[in-house]
Amino acid sequence: MKLLEERILKDGERIGTEILKVGSFLNQQLDVKLLREMGAEWRRLFAGEAVTKILTIEASGIAIAVAAAEAFGDCPVVFAKKARTSNVSGAFYTAKVYSFTHRTEHEILVPKEYLLPEDRVLLIDDFLAKGEALRGLVSLIRQSKATLVGCGIAVEKVFQGGGDLLREEGIRIESLARIRRMDGETIEFNN
């Protein structure tokens, strides 16, 4: 998506060769018009799919998912919470997620009542790097017996490999900006 790539080049901040900060428009400060346009693009890419629910993860996925929901007929948005403790039980689907950024493992969870077997779920998240968070969300959907329609990602760091591993497992991933490399003079995108 040209609009997002251009915005990344204009306002993204590279830190080293692997970290991209998008805090001024996609994270802590949000350009909601851009977010809605991203939602419209996912709608175009997933045309024909009857999405009944959007699933994301707190906190950075929530804004994108809510803005995108409009394009999917105002379907409900559900976000997985990151558990503070690992002793959650009861009526939750849970999965463990390893964070390479924070070098810790934590649990993510969704109440069972918010993911139903008849749901057709689109996953939305801001970043896809090694794919750990996305893999956890996919696990929650599989536990619920809902149908995973696919994943809409804002920024995929292709060079970190997580996206291609998930695609090899048959999961459809549509990333709006696919970064091939960012260790040179500029950020290079895949077409």
Q: Are 118 and 62 in contact (CB under 8 A)?
A: no
Of 43-51, 105-113, 136-144, 164-172: span binding a second copy (CB under 8 A): 105-113
Q: What angle do CA 188, 24, 164 make, to 5 degrees?
A: 40
Binding to a second copy by residue 35, rule CB under 8 A? yes
Binding residue for a second copy, selected from 6, 23, 44, 161, defined by CB under 8 A = 23
Binding to a second copy by residue 111, rule CB under 8 A? yes
* d(C-alpha 113, C-alpha 127), whole Å: 27
Binding to a second copy by residue 40, rule CB under 8 A? no
Whole-number minimum distance, CB 39 to a second copy, in Å?
11
Q: Are 173 and 31 in contact (CB under 8 A)?
A: no
Angstrom distances, CA of residue 147 to CA of 35, 115, 125, 134:
25, 10, 18, 15
Whole-number minimum distance, CB 87 to a second copy, in Å?
16
Q: What is the binding site for a second copy (CB under 8 A)?
A: 23-24, 28-33, 35-36, 58-59, 62-63, 66-67, 69-70, 74, 76-79, 81, 110-111, 113-114
